[in-house]
A and B are shown apart, each in its own frame.
Chain A
Amino acid sequence: MRTHFQESLDSLKGKLLAMAGMAEAAIDAAVRAYQERVPELCSKVFENEVMINLAEREIDHLALDLLAMQQPMAVDLRFILAIIKSNADLERVGDQAVNIAERVMELIALPRVELAADIPQMAAMSAQMIRQALEAFISGNAEQAKRVLETDDVVDRMNQEIFLAMDKTMHECPALIRQALDTLLIARNLERVADHATNIAEDVIFWVRGADVRHHALAEEK
Protein backbone atom coordinates (compact mmCIF):
# COMPACT_ATOMS: atom_id res chain seq x y z
CA MET A 1 0.00 0.00 0.00
CA ARG A 2 1.43 3.36 -1.02
CA THR A 3 0.28 5.23 2.10
CA HIS A 4 2.42 8.29 1.56
CA PHE A 5 1.19 8.61 -2.02
CA GLN A 6 -2.44 8.23 -0.97
CA GLU A 7 -1.95 10.95 1.63
CA SER A 8 -0.53 13.22 -1.07
CA LEU A 9 -3.59 12.56 -3.26
CA ASP A 10 -5.87 13.40 -0.33
CA SER A 11 -3.93 16.59 0.29
CA LEU A 12 -4.24 17.53 -3.39
CA LYS A 13 -7.99 17.01 -3.23
CA GLY A 14 -8.17 19.11 -0.06
CA LYS A 15 -6.35 21.97 -1.74
CA LEU A 16 -8.64 21.82 -4.77
CA LEU A 17 -11.71 21.94 -2.54
CA ALA A 18 -10.31 24.91 -0.61
CA MET A 19 -9.75 26.70 -3.90
CA ALA A 20 -13.26 25.79 -5.00
CA GLY A 21 -14.54 27.40 -1.82
CA MET A 22 -12.78 30.63 -2.82
CA ALA A 23 -14.18 30.50 -6.36
CA GLU A 24 -17.67 29.89 -5.04
CA ALA A 25 -17.34 32.77 -2.56
CA ALA A 26 -16.17 35.03 -5.39
CA ILE A 27 -19.26 34.32 -7.49
CA ASP A 28 -21.46 34.73 -4.45
CA ALA A 29 -19.89 38.12 -3.59
CA ALA A 30 -20.15 39.36 -7.20
CA VAL A 31 -23.84 38.47 -7.39
CA ARG A 32 -24.58 40.01 -4.00
CA ALA A 33 -22.79 43.14 -5.15
CA TYR A 34 -25.14 43.15 -8.15
CA GLN A 35 -28.23 42.73 -6.00
CA GLU A 36 -27.27 45.12 -3.23
CA ARG A 37 -25.16 47.58 -5.29
CA VAL A 38 -22.25 47.41 -2.82
CA PRO A 39 -18.83 48.31 -4.34
CA GLU A 40 -16.97 46.83 -1.33
CA LEU A 41 -18.20 43.39 -2.31
CA CYS A 42 -16.64 43.93 -5.76
CA SER A 43 -13.32 44.79 -4.11
CA LYS A 44 -13.54 41.52 -2.21
CA VAL A 45 -13.88 39.68 -5.55
CA PHE A 46 -10.78 41.39 -6.94
CA GLU A 47 -8.76 40.50 -3.84
CA ASN A 48 -10.05 36.95 -3.91
CA GLU A 49 -8.81 36.46 -7.46
CA VAL A 50 -5.19 36.90 -6.37
CA MET A 51 -5.65 34.11 -3.81
CA ILE A 52 -7.32 31.86 -6.37
CA ASN A 53 -4.43 32.34 -8.79
CA LEU A 54 -1.94 31.46 -6.06
CA ALA A 55 -3.93 28.34 -5.19
CA GLU A 56 -4.06 27.35 -8.86
CA ARG A 57 -0.28 27.49 -9.13
CA GLU A 58 0.22 25.52 -5.92
CA ILE A 59 -2.15 22.75 -7.07
CA ASP A 60 -0.51 22.53 -10.49
CA HIS A 61 2.88 22.32 -8.87
CA LEU A 62 1.86 19.57 -6.49
CA ALA A 63 0.13 17.60 -9.26
CA LEU A 64 3.20 17.87 -11.49
CA ASP A 65 5.43 16.64 -8.65
CA LEU A 66 3.18 13.64 -8.07
CA LEU A 67 3.19 12.77 -11.78
CA ALA A 68 6.97 12.96 -11.90
CA MET A 69 7.78 11.31 -8.59
CA GLN A 70 5.05 8.71 -8.23
CA GLN A 71 4.23 7.78 -11.83
CA PRO A 72 0.58 7.14 -11.00
CA MET A 73 -1.47 4.62 -12.95
CA ALA A 74 -5.12 3.91 -13.69
CA VAL A 75 -7.55 5.49 -11.19
CA ASP A 76 -4.77 7.57 -9.59
CA LEU A 77 -3.61 8.87 -12.97
CA ARG A 78 -7.19 9.77 -13.91
CA PHE A 79 -7.66 11.46 -10.54
CA ILE A 80 -4.61 13.70 -10.97
CA LEU A 81 -5.67 14.55 -14.52
CA ALA A 82 -9.14 15.46 -13.23
CA ILE A 83 -7.56 17.65 -10.53
CA ILE A 84 -5.36 19.49 -13.05
CA LYS A 85 -8.30 20.15 -15.38
CA SER A 86 -10.73 21.15 -12.63
CA ASN A 87 -8.06 23.42 -11.21
CA ALA A 88 -7.95 25.33 -14.51
CA ASP A 89 -11.75 25.50 -14.56
CA LEU A 90 -11.93 26.90 -11.03
CA GLU A 91 -9.33 29.52 -11.85
CA ARG A 92 -11.53 30.58 -14.76
CA VAL A 93 -14.56 30.73 -12.43
CA GLY A 94 -12.53 33.24 -10.39
CA ASP A 95 -11.98 35.23 -13.60
CA GLN A 96 -15.70 35.16 -14.39
CA ALA A 97 -16.42 36.53 -10.91
CA VAL A 98 -14.01 39.39 -11.63
CA ASN A 99 -15.72 40.05 -14.98
CA ILE A 100 -19.09 40.17 -13.24
CA ALA A 101 -17.75 42.47 -10.50
CA GLU A 102 -16.38 44.85 -13.15
CA ARG A 103 -19.78 45.06 -14.82
CA VAL A 104 -21.44 45.57 -11.42
CA MET A 105 -19.06 48.49 -10.66
CA GLU A 106 -20.20 50.06 -13.91
CA LEU A 107 -23.86 49.41 -13.13
CA ILE A 108 -23.53 50.97 -9.69
CA ALA A 109 -22.25 54.17 -11.34
CA LEU A 110 -25.33 54.26 -13.61
CA PRO A 111 -28.93 55.07 -12.61
CA ARG A 112 -30.71 52.05 -11.14
CA VAL A 113 -33.28 50.48 -13.48
CA GLU A 114 -35.47 47.39 -13.35
CA LEU A 115 -34.69 45.03 -16.23
CA ALA A 116 -36.37 41.80 -17.25
CA ALA A 117 -33.44 39.62 -16.25
CA ASP A 118 -33.46 37.23 -13.32
CA ILE A 119 -29.73 37.35 -12.65
CA PRO A 120 -30.05 36.15 -9.01
CA GLN A 121 -31.83 32.99 -10.09
CA MET A 122 -29.35 32.28 -12.85
CA ALA A 123 -26.50 32.90 -10.39
CA ALA A 124 -28.10 30.54 -7.87
CA MET A 125 -28.33 27.81 -10.54
CA SER A 126 -24.72 28.27 -11.65
CA ALA A 127 -23.43 28.32 -8.07
CA GLN A 128 -25.45 25.22 -7.31
CA MET A 129 -23.87 23.45 -10.28
CA ILE A 130 -20.39 24.30 -9.02
CA ARG A 131 -21.32 23.08 -5.54
CA GLN A 132 -22.84 19.87 -6.87
CA ALA A 133 -19.81 19.18 -9.08
CA LEU A 134 -17.56 19.60 -6.06
CA GLU A 135 -19.73 17.43 -3.87
CA ALA A 136 -19.40 14.78 -6.56
CA PHE A 137 -15.64 15.33 -6.41
CA ILE A 138 -15.63 14.87 -2.62
CA SER A 139 -17.65 11.67 -2.70
CA GLY A 140 -16.39 10.31 -6.05
CA ASN A 141 -20.03 10.05 -7.11
CA ALA A 142 -20.42 9.86 -10.90
CA GLU A 143 -24.25 9.85 -10.70
CA GLN A 144 -24.27 13.16 -8.89
CA ALA A 145 -21.81 14.54 -11.43
CA LYS A 146 -24.15 13.47 -14.21
CA ARG A 147 -26.96 15.56 -12.74
CA VAL A 148 -24.75 18.64 -13.10
CA LEU A 149 -24.52 18.01 -16.85
CA GLU A 150 -28.30 18.01 -17.09
CA THR A 151 -28.63 21.35 -15.27
CA ASP A 152 -26.31 23.02 -17.78
CA ASP A 153 -29.11 23.08 -20.37
CA VAL A 154 -31.35 25.02 -17.96
CA VAL A 155 -28.69 27.70 -17.41
CA ASP A 156 -28.08 27.91 -21.17
CA ARG A 157 -31.79 28.57 -21.69
CA MET A 158 -31.81 31.26 -18.99
CA ASN A 159 -28.88 32.95 -20.68
CA GLN A 160 -30.68 32.84 -24.01
CA GLU A 161 -33.83 34.35 -22.47
CA ILE A 162 -31.84 37.18 -20.87
CA PHE A 163 -30.07 37.81 -24.16
CA LEU A 164 -33.38 38.18 -26.00
CA ALA A 165 -34.87 40.37 -23.26
CA MET A 166 -31.83 42.69 -23.20
CA ASP A 167 -31.77 42.83 -26.97
CA LYS A 168 -35.39 43.96 -26.87
CA THR A 169 -34.65 46.53 -24.15
CA MET A 170 -31.79 48.00 -26.17
CA HIS A 171 -34.02 48.35 -29.20
CA GLU A 172 -36.93 49.84 -27.34
CA CYS A 173 -35.11 52.04 -24.80
CA PRO A 174 -31.77 53.21 -26.19
CA ALA A 175 -31.22 55.15 -22.95
CA LEU A 176 -30.81 51.82 -21.13
CA ILE A 177 -28.27 50.34 -23.52
CA ARG A 178 -25.39 50.46 -21.00
CA GLN A 179 -27.40 48.80 -18.23
CA ALA A 180 -28.82 46.20 -20.60
CA LEU A 181 -25.39 45.46 -22.05
CA ASP A 182 -23.84 45.04 -18.58
CA THR A 183 -26.68 42.74 -17.54
CA LEU A 184 -26.30 40.72 -20.72
CA LEU A 185 -22.57 40.34 -20.04
CA ILE A 186 -23.19 39.29 -16.44
CA ALA A 187 -25.56 36.59 -17.71
CA ARG A 188 -22.97 35.49 -20.22
CA ASN A 189 -20.34 35.16 -17.48
CA LEU A 190 -22.73 33.15 -15.33
CA GLU A 191 -23.37 30.89 -18.27
CA ARG A 192 -19.60 30.37 -18.51
CA VAL A 193 -19.50 29.51 -14.79
CA ALA A 194 -22.07 26.79 -15.46
CA ASP A 195 -19.89 25.53 -18.33
CA HIS A 196 -16.92 25.23 -15.97
CA ALA A 197 -19.11 23.34 -13.47
CA THR A 198 -20.02 21.01 -16.35
CA ASN A 199 -16.35 20.48 -17.18
CA ILE A 200 -15.60 19.64 -13.55
CA ALA A 201 -18.49 17.17 -13.46
CA GLU A 202 -17.18 15.52 -16.63
CA ASP A 203 -13.76 15.24 -15.04
CA VAL A 204 -15.31 13.55 -12.00
CA ILE A 205 -17.04 11.01 -14.25
CA PHE A 206 -13.76 10.41 -16.10
CA TRP A 207 -11.90 9.93 -12.82
CA VAL A 208 -14.46 7.57 -11.29
CA ARG A 209 -15.52 5.59 -14.33
CA GLY A 210 -12.75 6.12 -16.85
CA ALA A 211 -15.43 7.28 -19.27
CA ASP A 212 -15.18 10.25 -21.55
CA VAL A 213 -18.51 12.07 -21.49
CA ARG A 214 -17.45 15.31 -23.10
CA HIS A 215 -19.31 16.88 -25.99
CA HIS A 216 -21.19 14.32 -28.02
CA ALA A 217 -20.01 11.29 -26.09
CA LEU A 218 -22.77 11.87 -23.54
CA ALA A 219 -25.44 12.17 -26.20
CA GLU A 220 -24.31 8.82 -27.61
CA GLU A 221 -24.34 7.29 -24.16
CA LYS A 222 -27.92 8.43 -23.68
Chain B
Amino acid sequence: MGMSLSVRQLNAWFGRRQALDDITMEIPANQVTAIIGPSGCGKSTFVRCLNRMHETVPEARVEGSVIIGSRNIYGNGVSPVEVRRRVGMVFQKPNPFPAMSIYDNVAAGLKLNGFHKRRELDEVVEHALRMAALWDEVKDQLKKQSGASLSGGQQQRLCIARALAVQPEVLLMDEPASALDPISTSKIEELIFQLKAQYTIVIVTHNMQQAARVADGTGFFLLGKLIEYDATEKIFTTPVDKRTEDYVTGRFG
Protein backbone atom coordinates (compact mmCIF):
# COMPACT_ATOMS: atom_id res chain seq x y z
CA MET B 1 0.00 0.00 0.00
CA GLY B 2 1.03 3.57 -0.59
CA MET B 3 2.08 5.84 2.23
CA SER B 4 1.09 9.42 2.86
CA LEU B 5 3.74 12.12 2.76
CA SER B 6 3.84 15.03 5.09
CA VAL B 7 6.14 17.77 3.88
CA ARG B 8 6.91 20.36 6.53
CA GLN B 9 8.77 23.63 6.10
CA LEU B 10 10.90 22.23 3.34
CA ASN B 11 13.62 24.54 2.04
CA ALA B 12 16.21 23.63 -0.56
CA TRP B 13 19.25 25.39 -2.00
CA PHE B 14 21.69 25.03 -4.85
CA GLY B 15 24.75 26.71 -3.34
CA ARG B 16 23.44 30.14 -2.27
CA ARG B 17 20.42 30.11 -4.53
CA GLN B 18 17.23 29.06 -2.75
CA ALA B 19 15.17 26.72 -4.93
CA LEU B 20 12.37 25.87 -2.48
CA ASP B 21 10.93 28.26 0.04
CA ASP B 22 9.16 26.86 3.07
CA ILE B 23 6.97 24.22 1.45
CA THR B 24 4.39 22.57 3.67
CA MET B 25 2.13 20.06 1.98
CA GLU B 26 0.17 16.96 2.92
CA ILE B 27 0.19 14.35 0.17
CA PRO B 28 -2.44 11.67 0.80
CA ALA B 29 -1.75 7.96 0.39
CA ASN B 30 -2.97 6.17 -2.73
CA GLN B 31 -3.71 9.32 -4.61
CA VAL B 32 -2.09 11.02 -7.56
CA THR B 33 -0.77 14.46 -6.74
CA ALA B 34 0.39 16.66 -9.60
CA ILE B 35 2.94 19.43 -9.28
CA ILE B 36 2.62 22.14 -11.90
CA GLY B 37 4.36 25.43 -12.51
CA PRO B 38 6.59 27.24 -15.00
CA SER B 39 10.17 26.18 -15.70
CA GLY B 40 12.46 26.97 -12.81
CA CYS B 41 9.65 27.12 -10.23
CA GLY B 42 11.20 24.32 -8.15
CA LYS B 43 8.83 21.49 -8.98
CA SER B 44 11.57 19.03 -10.01
CA THR B 45 13.68 20.05 -7.02
CA PHE B 46 10.63 19.42 -4.85
CA VAL B 47 10.13 15.82 -5.99
CA ARG B 48 13.88 15.21 -5.80
CA CYS B 49 13.68 16.20 -2.15
CA LEU B 50 11.04 13.53 -1.58
CA ASN B 51 13.55 10.73 -2.14
CA ARG B 52 16.74 12.54 -1.12
CA MET B 53 17.99 12.87 -4.68
CA HIS B 54 18.46 16.62 -4.34
CA GLU B 55 21.41 16.21 -2.00
CA THR B 56 23.32 14.22 -4.65
CA VAL B 57 23.94 17.48 -6.53
CA PRO B 58 27.19 19.20 -5.40
CA GLU B 59 26.52 22.12 -3.02
CA ALA B 60 22.83 21.27 -2.78
CA ARG B 61 21.27 21.50 0.66
CA VAL B 62 17.89 20.70 2.24
CA GLU B 63 16.18 21.81 5.47
CA GLY B 64 12.84 20.76 6.88
CA SER B 65 11.21 17.38 7.04
CA VAL B 66 9.47 14.88 4.80
CA ILE B 67 7.58 12.32 6.81
CA ILE B 68 6.61 9.19 4.93
CA GLY B 69 4.20 7.10 6.94
CA SER B 70 5.54 8.03 10.35
CA ARG B 71 9.23 8.41 9.60
CA ASN B 72 11.13 11.57 8.68
CA ILE B 73 13.35 10.68 5.73
CA TYR B 74 15.70 13.48 6.78
CA GLY B 75 15.91 12.12 10.35
CA ASN B 76 19.20 11.09 11.96
CA GLY B 77 20.50 7.74 10.85
CA VAL B 78 18.12 7.33 7.94
CA SER B 79 19.88 5.82 4.95
CA PRO B 80 19.32 7.68 1.65
CA VAL B 81 19.67 4.38 -0.20
CA GLU B 82 16.82 2.88 1.83
CA VAL B 83 14.72 6.04 1.20
CA ARG B 84 15.25 5.68 -2.53
CA ARG B 85 14.10 2.06 -2.40
CA ARG B 86 10.89 3.12 -0.66
CA VAL B 87 10.38 6.09 -2.95
CA GLY B 88 10.85 5.12 -6.58
CA MET B 89 11.40 7.58 -9.38
CA VAL B 90 10.68 7.69 -13.09
CA PHE B 91 12.30 10.38 -15.21
CA GLN B 92 11.33 12.41 -18.25
CA LYS B 93 13.58 10.49 -20.63
CA PRO B 94 13.26 6.71 -20.41
CA ASN B 95 16.64 5.47 -19.19
CA PRO B 96 16.78 1.67 -19.34
CA PHE B 97 20.20 0.12 -18.84
CA PRO B 98 21.12 -0.27 -22.53
CA ALA B 99 23.33 -3.32 -22.25
CA MET B 100 20.83 -5.29 -20.15
CA SER B 101 17.93 -7.47 -21.28
CA ILE B 102 14.36 -6.49 -20.43
CA TYR B 103 14.44 -9.05 -17.62
CA ASP B 104 17.69 -7.77 -16.16
CA ASN B 105 16.51 -4.18 -16.34
CA VAL B 106 13.57 -5.00 -14.08
CA ALA B 107 15.61 -7.32 -11.84
CA ALA B 108 18.52 -4.89 -11.45
CA GLY B 109 17.25 -3.14 -8.34
CA LEU B 110 16.35 -6.41 -6.68
CA LYS B 111 19.75 -7.93 -7.35
CA LEU B 112 21.35 -4.79 -5.98
CA ASN B 113 19.34 -5.36 -2.81
CA GLY B 114 20.75 -8.89 -2.52
CA PHE B 115 17.78 -10.68 -4.01
CA HIS B 116 19.04 -13.63 -6.07
CA LYS B 117 16.62 -16.57 -5.88
CA ARG B 118 15.73 -17.38 -9.44
CA ARG B 119 12.08 -18.33 -9.03
CA GLU B 120 11.25 -15.41 -6.81
CA LEU B 121 13.03 -13.06 -9.20
CA ASP B 122 10.97 -14.45 -12.08
CA GLU B 123 7.79 -13.83 -10.15
CA VAL B 124 8.67 -10.29 -9.16
CA VAL B 125 9.79 -9.40 -12.70
CA GLU B 126 6.56 -10.74 -14.15
CA HIS B 127 4.47 -8.97 -11.53
CA ALA B 128 6.28 -5.65 -12.08
CA LEU B 129 5.93 -5.92 -15.86
CA ARG B 130 2.25 -6.74 -15.52
CA MET B 131 1.75 -3.78 -13.17
CA ALA B 132 3.48 -1.59 -15.75
CA ALA B 133 1.16 -2.94 -18.47
CA LEU B 134 4.14 -4.17 -20.47
CA TRP B 135 4.11 -7.93 -19.82
CA ASP B 136 1.98 -8.95 -22.78
CA GLU B 137 4.15 -7.01 -25.18
CA VAL B 138 7.52 -8.37 -24.03
CA LYS B 139 6.93 -11.74 -22.34
CA ASP B 140 8.42 -13.74 -25.25
CA GLN B 141 11.53 -11.58 -25.51
CA LEU B 142 12.37 -11.05 -21.85
CA LYS B 143 15.93 -12.27 -21.99
CA LYS B 144 16.65 -12.00 -25.69
CA GLN B 145 15.85 -8.36 -26.22
CA SER B 146 17.67 -5.41 -24.68
CA GLY B 147 15.70 -2.70 -22.90
CA ALA B 148 17.05 -0.12 -25.31
CA SER B 149 15.48 -1.88 -28.30
CA LEU B 150 11.94 -1.14 -27.12
CA SER B 151 9.94 1.86 -28.33
CA GLY B 152 10.02 5.06 -26.28
CA GLY B 153 6.67 4.33 -24.65
CA GLN B 154 7.65 0.75 -23.87
CA GLN B 155 10.98 1.92 -22.45
CA GLN B 156 9.15 4.29 -20.13
CA ARG B 157 6.88 1.49 -18.93
CA LEU B 158 9.99 -0.66 -18.48
CA CYS B 159 11.42 2.06 -16.24
CA ILE B 160 8.16 2.09 -14.30
CA ALA B 161 8.39 -1.71 -13.93
CA ARG B 162 11.98 -1.34 -12.75
CA ALA B 163 10.86 1.20 -10.15
CA LEU B 164 7.96 -1.02 -9.02
CA ALA B 165 10.08 -4.18 -8.75
CA VAL B 166 11.65 -3.05 -5.49
CA GLN B 167 8.17 -2.53 -4.04
CA PRO B 168 8.25 1.15 -3.21
CA GLU B 169 5.54 2.92 -1.23
CA VAL B 170 5.70 6.12 -3.23
CA LEU B 171 6.32 6.63 -6.94
CA LEU B 172 7.69 9.96 -8.16
CA MET B 173 7.31 10.77 -11.81
CA ASP B 174 9.14 13.73 -13.33
CA GLU B 175 7.49 14.53 -16.67
CA PRO B 176 7.03 10.82 -17.41
CA ALA B 177 5.22 11.29 -20.71
CA SER B 178 6.64 14.49 -22.13
CA ALA B 179 8.90 12.60 -24.58
CA LEU B 180 6.14 10.24 -25.71
CA ASP B 181 3.55 10.25 -28.48
CA PRO B 182 -0.16 10.59 -27.59
CA ILE B 183 -0.84 6.83 -27.64
CA SER B 184 2.09 6.02 -25.35
CA THR B 185 1.09 9.00 -23.21
CA SER B 186 -2.44 7.69 -22.75
CA LYS B 187 -1.03 4.27 -21.82
CA ILE B 188 1.15 5.86 -19.16
CA GLU B 189 -1.77 7.94 -17.87
CA GLU B 190 -4.01 4.90 -17.71
CA LEU B 191 -1.23 3.09 -15.88
CA ILE B 192 -0.89 5.94 -13.37
CA PHE B 193 -4.59 5.67 -12.71
CA GLN B 194 -4.31 1.91 -12.06
CA LEU B 195 -1.16 2.20 -9.94
CA LYS B 196 -2.62 4.56 -7.39
CA ALA B 197 -4.55 1.69 -5.85
CA GLN B 198 -1.21 0.44 -4.54
CA TYR B 199 1.12 3.40 -4.55
CA THR B 200 1.13 7.05 -3.68
CA ILE B 201 2.08 8.93 -6.83
CA VAL B 202 3.55 12.39 -7.20
CA ILE B 203 3.84 13.57 -10.78
CA VAL B 204 5.56 16.66 -12.13
CA THR B 205 4.12 17.79 -15.41
CA HIS B 206 4.24 20.74 -17.77
CA ASN B 207 1.12 19.47 -19.43
CA MET B 208 -1.84 20.88 -17.54
CA GLN B 209 -4.35 18.73 -19.36
CA GLN B 210 -2.36 15.74 -18.18
CA ALA B 211 -2.50 16.93 -14.58
CA ALA B 212 -6.23 17.50 -15.02
CA ARG B 213 -6.70 13.99 -16.39
CA VAL B 214 -4.67 11.97 -13.90
CA ALA B 215 -4.33 13.83 -10.63
CA ASP B 216 -6.62 13.90 -7.59
CA GLY B 217 -4.81 16.90 -6.13
CA THR B 218 -2.68 19.56 -7.78
CA GLY B 219 -0.11 21.95 -6.35
CA PHE B 220 0.98 25.07 -8.20
CA PHE B 221 4.57 26.19 -7.62
CA LEU B 222 6.01 29.58 -8.51
CA LEU B 223 9.51 30.88 -7.74
CA GLY B 224 10.10 28.09 -5.23
CA LYS B 225 6.87 28.66 -3.34
CA LEU B 226 3.74 26.55 -3.16
CA ILE B 227 1.11 29.07 -4.25
CA GLU B 228 -2.01 26.93 -4.19
CA TYR B 229 -2.75 23.29 -3.48
CA ASP B 230 -6.23 21.85 -3.79
CA ALA B 231 -8.40 19.23 -5.47
CA THR B 232 -7.47 19.11 -9.15
CA GLU B 233 -10.95 20.08 -10.35
CA LYS B 234 -10.81 23.15 -8.13
CA ILE B 235 -7.40 24.25 -9.44
CA PHE B 236 -8.54 23.97 -13.05
CA THR B 237 -12.05 25.39 -12.75
CA THR B 238 -12.04 27.85 -9.85
CA PRO B 239 -8.55 28.50 -8.48
CA VAL B 240 -8.45 30.96 -5.60
CA ASP B 241 -5.10 32.65 -6.23
CA LYS B 242 -4.83 35.03 -9.17
CA ARG B 243 -1.35 33.70 -10.00
CA THR B 244 -2.70 30.16 -10.30
CA GLU B 245 -5.48 31.39 -12.56
CA ASP B 246 -3.02 33.33 -14.71
CA TYR B 247 -0.85 30.22 -15.07
CA VAL B 248 -3.57 27.69 -15.88
CA THR B 249 -5.20 30.05 -18.38
CA GLY B 250 -1.87 30.84 -20.06
CA ARG B 251 -1.91 34.54 -19.13
CA PHE B 252 1.65 34.40 -17.78
CA GLY B 253 4.44 36.35 -19.39
Partners in one complex: yes
Q: Give the interface of A toward B (CB within 8 A).
A: 1-2, 5, 71-78, 210
Contact B248 A2 (CB under 8 A): no
Given contacts A2-B251, A76-B249, 8 further A-B contacts (CB under 8 A): A1-B251, A2-B249, A5-B250, A72-B249, A73-B237, A74-B237, A77-B237, A210-B238
**Cβ proximity bits B236-253 to A, threshold 8 Å, 1 near / 0 not:** 111100001100111111
Contact B253 A71 (CB under 8 A): no
Contact B237 A78 (CB under 8 A): yes
Q: Tell me which residues across on chain B come within 8 A of A75, comparing CB atoms.
A: 245, 249
Q: Tell me which residues across on chain A come within 8 A of B244, comparing CB atoms.
A: 74
B210 to chain A, nearest CB (A): 11
Contact A73 B236 (CB under 8 A): yes
Q: Tell me which residues across on chain B come within 8 A of A5, comparing CB atoms.
A: 250
B114 to chain A, nearest CB (A): 48
Contact A74 B253 (CB under 8 A): no
Q: How far is the CA of A72 from the CA of B208 in the complex (A)?
A: 10
- Which residue of the partner chain, among A2, A78, A210, contacts B250 with CB atoms under 8 Å? A2
B136 to chain A, nearest CB (A): 32
Contact B237 A1 (CB under 8 A): no
Q: Tell me which residues across on chain A come within 8 A of B245, comparing CB atoms.
A: 74-75
Q: How far is the CA of A131 from the CA of B137 in the complex (A)?
A: 62
- Which residue of the partner chain, among A2, A71, A76, A210, contacts B209 with CB atoms under 8 Å? A71
Report if A210-B237 is in contact (Cβ < 8 Å); known contacts: A73-B208, A75-B245.
yes
Q: How far is the CA of A73 from the CA of B249 in the complex (A)?
A: 5
Q: Tell me which residues across on chain A come within 8 A of B252, comparing CB atoms.
A: 1
Q: Tell me which residues across on chain A come within 8 A of B239, comparing CB atoms.
A: 74
Residue in B closest to A210 when the chains form the complex, CB atoms: B238
